[in-house]
Structures are given as C-alpha cells and as structure tokens.
Structure 1
Amino acid sequence: MELQPPYRKIIHVDMDAFYASVEQLDNPDLIGKPVAVGGSEVRGVVSAASYEARKYGVRSAMSGFLAKKKCPHIIFVPPRFSRYKEVSSKIRAIFYDYTDLVEPLSLDEAYLDVTENKKGNPSASLIAQEIRDRIWEELQLRASAGISINKFLAKVASDINKPNGQKTINPEDVIPFLEDLPVAKFYGVGKVTAAKMHNLGIFNGNDLKKRTLEELTSLFGKSGLHYYQIVRGIHNGLVKPNRIRKSIAAERTFAENISSEVFMLQRLEFIADELEKRMLKTGTKGKTITLKIKYSDFTQQTRSKTVAEFLQLKNDFFPLVKELLYQDVLENSVRLLGISFSNLNTEKKAPVWVQLKFDF
C-alpha cells in the first residue's frame, strides 16, 4: 500500500486563539494581556486562552482556579458565543469565495478542498495565504493554515507554524515528513495512545511504519488500520460540506458544589430552557436524551434514554431528565450538570457528495 496520485489539495484553516482574539478585538484594553474566556478564579472551566496566557501554561479545559494559580494577573471574561458565531459566519463567507467544499469542524476551524476552486488558482498554498490575508484585512483576526494532499496531513501541518503562519506538505515530502514526525503529534493520537506507543518503542512515524498491519491491529484494535495507513500518507476522508449535526447540548458549571437533588432540578430547569431555545432555533429534534453529571472530584457520569418519538420542547423532555436524575444514587456532590440530545432528526437529511480527484 503506497501513496499514489492523483492528489487532492486540502487546506485546514485554524483561527489563532479565536475566542480570546475576538474579545481582544472588541476590547482593545485586553490587547497584549493574558485573557481567559470562561471560568473564574473561583470556579468554572477556561474555554479559551490568549497566547499571552498560554505562555504561563493556561490552556482550554483547565479549571479557572488553576489558571489563576499559573497566571495571577490573568483576566477572566465571560464567553459570548453569539458574537463568536457572528464572526465565524464572516470567516466562512471568505472560504466560500474560493470553494463550496468547506467542512466546518467548529466555529474556529474548517477544511477546504481547493483541488478545483472558484479562483482558478492552481496553488493551494497561495490560496491559503490569500485567505489568511483577507481574514486579517477584513476582520483583524489572525489565522494559521496547513496545506497538503489530505485532511489528516493538512490538520497536522496547521499546527506547525502557529500562530499566524502556514505550512505546506507537498506530495513528494509527505513520506519523509511522516517518518520524522513524533507519534504524539499525529492528529488523533492522544496522550494515552502515545504513551503506549512509546512503551512499545514507537517514537516517530518511521518506528510506526516498521510495524505490520497485523501487529498494529493486534495492539490497537480497529485503530491499527488507521495508523498503518496514515503513516503512509493514506487518508481518504472527503471534505464534507453541510456536516450533519450529531448532537445538541447545554450545560452549566456551578459556583458551589450541589448535594441536594432538589437544587439540581432547579438548575436543570434553566439548562433545559436553554436547550429548548437552541433546538427551536436550529429546528432540531432528538430521540436520545442524556444527562451529564460531573462530580466534585471531577469524575463524570452519563445517563441516557431513547424514546420512540422525536422531542424538542422542554415540557416533553424534562420528565425524562427527572427520571434520569433519580435513576441512581448520586456518587458525590455535583459541580456540573448538562443535558444533550442525540439521534437527531437532522441525521436523516445527510446529502451524498461526490468528489473528483485531480493532479496536485
């Protein structure tokens, strides 16, 4: 199994510290200062951190308490997701000037297939540079980009020259690049898997490539085939426009731990209101409802139930939330509660997309 033409031209655009950068854009007093979006020095979790905060080790998903400990002069700002969505839509409008094959991964990153593009530009690298320039000129925000022959490589490449940079991995450079790449930097290889690989003497792509498909499948199950292919530059996932939403959720972290189920129900009422609002706005309905419980010791539990009919309104689904809450004895006091829907009505509407392949 070897890398063979024809090659696609894929760009992965990743905004630099997007939420924090939007906050600094809207409030110039925050420019050049360590900013954490979300959380507080008492409770909550950091959603995003500016690069000034990252220098102190502050990262997303870190508790606000730890962020404050690492960076005593950090500035916490509440998230404004409606504003981030507004800016994200403007960024995507720029993408669509170049191609309709845009696959958003989140508000701040997306894949673009520019094998054939609206500008008739044969250089994916020049297109990525132009897109980044336009984002800065039109929105005063910085973006990084990765360019290569598939989504996996483009995603890996976009991290290499961050922030405000880009990296192209040309077809002839793919194999040497992957052979030298530490396995911990392979997109999709987490800390646990990387540690397991290290224990097996697999430290970079060249080490990984020496393992047979049978060995990798034995060691890593279904992921073995994935590792066997990606280290050889093979990743056939298409850029999928109009990605179908798989779930919709709302959750809340509390200022103080809660032990009483009565108080939990009160909080769940507000969370359910927000979830209903989001479902009505997006026209989403679901059959599987899940209650997420995060305890004071940071352990997490989920409880789910699937019903026959699609649900959307709080009056219809909140009785199920109550049922899930009382389903079992709580293990500890609670710091976070969330409600989500999956098995959505949108999953039935997935279009079938056909992409053609051309020379790189």
Structure 2
Amino acid sequence: MPKGDAQNYRKIIHIDMDAFYASVEQRDNPEYRGKPLVVGGLPEGRGGVVATASYEARKFGIRSAMSSKQALQLCPHAIFIRPRFPAYKEASQKIREIFSRYTDLIEPLSLDEAYLDVTSDKLNIGSAIEIAQQIKQAIKDELQLTASAGVSINKFVAKTASDIKKPDGLTFIGPSAIEAFMEKLPVEKFFGVGKVTAQKMKNMGLHTGDDLKKLTEGELTKHFGKVGKFYYQIVRGIDNREVQPNRETKSLAAEDTFPYDLTTLGEMEEELDKIAQTVCKRLQQYELKGRTVTLKIKYSDFKQITRNQSFPTGLNDLETVCATAKKLLVATGIEDKKIRLLGISLSNFNDVVVRGKEEKPTDQLTLFDF
C-alpha cells in the first residue's frame, strides 16, 4: 500500500465515455442502434482509419486506429459514417458541466475522458464512489449516454480502473488493494508502454507488474530510460501527479490528411498554404509568436518525418510561415514521393499561453504536438 496517512490520500475519479462518437450517433440516429457502427474514414477508395466503433462492431474485432478497409473485412455488414465533431463537442461540453457541479479540478484528456479531483467536493458528499455514481447517472439521464468510471487515490490507478468493467462500469481500487492490483497488471497496460516497449519487456521476461517489481530502480532506468523511474514507483502504487485543470501550450499546429495522395509540388504547396493559414490564425488568436517552424510529412506508406527551422525571434505572419514550410518540404526531396498528410507546427514561444485542456481538434485540421 502506498505510504502516507489515509486522511491525506487524494480522491481521484477517471471518467471515460463508452464508445463516445458511436454512442452519440446511435443516440441521435435510431436506425444505427443495435448495429455494428464504425465512425471514421470510409473504406472506399484509399480508405481511412477507424475513430471509434460501437460495441456491436467491437465484437468482430474492430478497434480504434484500425484501417477502415480492415474493419470492413472483419465485418462486411458494418455501417461506416464520417464523424460529426460539432455534435461530439456539444455533448462533451454538457458532460463537463455535469463534472463542474462537483469540482473545479477537472483535467480533460480528450472530448470523452477526464480526471476529477474530488478530495474536497462542492456538494460535501465526501465519497468519491458516490460522486462517480451520481455523475454516471446524470450523464445517462440528461444525455442518454453511458460512461465508465475508475476511482482511486491517484491518476494512474483511476484511469486503469475505469477500463475494467466497460461499458457502464464503476471500479474502486482502494489504498490497500493497489499493490496487489498493480502486480497482476499486464505490462502493456502501464503508462508509457507502447507496443515496442511491451515487446521489449516480454523479451526480457517481464509480463506483469510483479515482474517489473523484481527489478531495481537503477535496472529499470538502465533498460527504459527516465520512464523506468516512473515504472518503479507506479508498480508500488505511487503516482504523485496532480489533476491539472489547465496546461501550458507548447506548440500550436494544424495538419490535414488528404483524400488522395499528393504527387506534385504544386498540390503540396497549395495544401501548405491552407494549413499555414489555419496555424497563423490560431497563433494570432492567442497572441503567440513561435521561433521554430516544424513541417510534418506522412507518406503513402505511412512513413513519417519532421523537419524544422528556428529563428532568432518569434513569428506568426503567414508569409514567413508559408515560405519556411515550403522550403523545408523541397529540402526533403519530393521527387517520386506520394504524400498523404502534411502539417505545420509553431513552437518555442516567447510567452506561453495557458488554455483549457478541453480545446480539441476540429474535423481534419487539428492541434497536435510533434
């Protein structure tokens, strides 16, 4: 059990909406209910990727980030629709309003999930479990959507717990149960462990938290770098990260995935003009000037590269951003290249703006950190 006086434990809730985009679509369109629904790119032509899938579609093995073509192969009778981001954002804002009845310490991670610190709640309920139940019920009654919740004393365990009983689940993991829970947790469920790191761990004979626990902090750091220290702590139930209602913006950017591969310099430069306009508009909105311009390129084979140029002073004017991005593009050598995505990012701000984490991407032009 994590050390410390029980009275000093935080009360953290992680709320995660169930198949959010698909659930909103099924709520708004009765003809989709009970059917395998895929929200994202359509499988026709070059295809796209799955943003989310209804639970009926997930039974066939369809998952987020899977190609739409593969999803169609898994379930030929699935219904494919494009996302309606304004509808999802509206629902997300209403969910946020429900959260704010209980606490102002809300850290949205995306449109469909957030951390809440209810150590001191507005209604003096005192019980994080009761608050989570009330929030889930309010979302169901007012929005006709379901959410899953995880409740614990820190962010990592709460987030992991929210995934245990999906959909419409509620899982509490108290201080005395955390270490046993972490010991049984597969390594791929640990924060910061992607497919490559998980495979590396398994090659080392590390399959669960219990296996990780057998290594010293020095050994974990040696094999996995700085994040090894986090693994050492979290497997012992220690996560001191606070719920952060606001965050610093370290970069502002826009990108676009195209419906067909770009093959000529003229096409690429035309798209860069549009993307640069979006970036500069956002920079000027936040009154920001960045000293580093970064170009992001994803080729038709999904290989991705970034190139950047830094300046002695900050800039946010369209002409310079556009010219720099085009210069970086030409320097990569575009002969015989097919490009499916381009993006431009400005970073290294003189004055860092603080914005709410709920500000999320629009349909195709999106905010991202390289």
TM-score where L is the length of structure 1 = 0.90
**2:348 corresponds to which letter in structure 1?**
N
The reply on whether 1:183 has 2:183 as its aligned counterpart is no
How far is 1:84 from its partner?
Answer: 1.9
Q: How does 1:266-285 map to 2 (within 5 A)?
A: 266-279=270-283, 285=289
Distance 2:316 2:142 in 1: 38
**2:39 corresponds to which letter in structure 1?**
V
Query: What's 1:19 paired with?
Result: 21
Distance 2:330 2:168 in 1: 49
Q: How does 1:201-350 map to 2 (within 5 A)?
A: 201-279=205-283, 285-330=289-334, 332-344=337-349, 347-349=352-354
Alpha-carbon spacing, 1:44–1:340, altered in 2? closer, same or farther (3 Å): farther
**1:77 corresponds to which letter in structure 2?**
I
User: SS state of the match for residue 151, structure 2?
Assistant: strand
CA RMSD of superposed structures (Å): 2.3
Query: What's 2:126 paired with?
Result: 122
**Higher mean C-alpha displacement, 150-159 vs 308-317:** 308-317
1:37 to 36, 39, 43: 39
Alpha-carbon spacing, 1:23–1:222, altered in 2? closer, same or farther (3 Å): same
Tell me if structure 2 keeps the 8 A contact 1:44–1:253: no
How far is 1:311 from its partner?
Answer: 3.9
Distance 1:345 1:51 in 2: 46
User: SS state of the match for residue 243, structure 1?
Assistant: strand
Distance 1:8 1:69 in 2: 46
**Higher mean C-alpha displacement, 163-172 vs 289-298:** 289-298
- List alignment gaps of at least 5 residues for structure 1: 352-360
How far is 1:197 from its partner?
Answer: 1.6
**1:220 corresponds to which letter in structure 2?**
F
Distance 2:14 2:136 in 1: 11
Distance 1:318 1:21 in 2: 39
User: SS state of the match for residue 341, structure 1?
Assistant: strand
Query: What's 2:4 paired with?
Result: 4
**1:109 corresponds to which letter in structure 2?**
E
1:62 to 52, 63, 66: 66
Alpha-carbon spacing, 1:86–1:308, altered in 2? closer, same or farther (3 Å): farther
Distance 2:98 2:313 in 1: 39
Distance 1:231 1:346 in 2: 37
Tell me if structure 1 keeps the 8 A contact 2:107–2:246: yes
Tell me if structure 1 keeps the 8 A contact 2:88–2:111: yes
User: SS state of the match for residue 326, structure 1?
Assistant: helix
Q: How many residues align?
A: 351
How far is 1:282 from its partner?
Answer: 5.7
Distance 1:338 1:78 in 2: 21
Q: Per-residue CA shift, 1:101-135, capped at 9, x if unaligned?
A: 11111111111000111111121111111101111
**1:263 corresponds to which letter in structure 2?**
E
How far is 1:307 from its partner?
Answer: 3.0
User: SS state of the match for residue 224, structure 1?
Assistant: helix
Distance 1:288 1:317 in 2: 10
Alpha-carbon spacing, 1:34–1:308, altered in 2? closer, same or farther (3 Å): farther
Query: What's 1:97 paired with?
Result: 101
How far is 1:38 from its partner?
Answer: 2.1
Tell me if structure 2 keeps the 8 A contact 1:13–1:158: yes
**1:50 corresponds to which letter in structure 2?**
S
- List alignment gaps of at least 5 residues for structure 2: 357-370
Alpha-carbon spacing, 1:63–1:269, altered in 2? closer, same or farther (3 Å): farther
**1:32 corresponds to which letter in structure 2?**
G
Query: What's 1:170 paired with?
Result: 174
Query: What's 2:142 paired with?
Result: 138
Tell me if structure 2 keeps the 8 A contact 1:44–1:254: no
Tell me if structure 2 keeps the 8 A contact 1:197–1:203: yes
Tell me if structure 1 keeps the 8 A contact 2:249–2:355: no
Distance 2:171 2:217 in 1: 30
Alpha-carbon spacing, 1:63–1:313, altered in 2? closer, same or farther (3 Å): farther
User: SS state of the match for residue 229, structure 1?
Assistant: helix
Distance 2:192 2:101 in 1: 30
Tell me if structure 1 keeps the 8 A contact 2:247–2:354: no
Q: Per-residue CA shift, 1:196-225, capped at 9, x if unaligned?
A: 222222221122111111211221121211
Tell me if structure 1 keeps the 8 A contact 2:246–2:354: no
Distance 1:278 1:17 in 2: 30
Alpha-carbon spacing, 1:60–1:179, altered in 2? closer, same or farther (3 Å): same
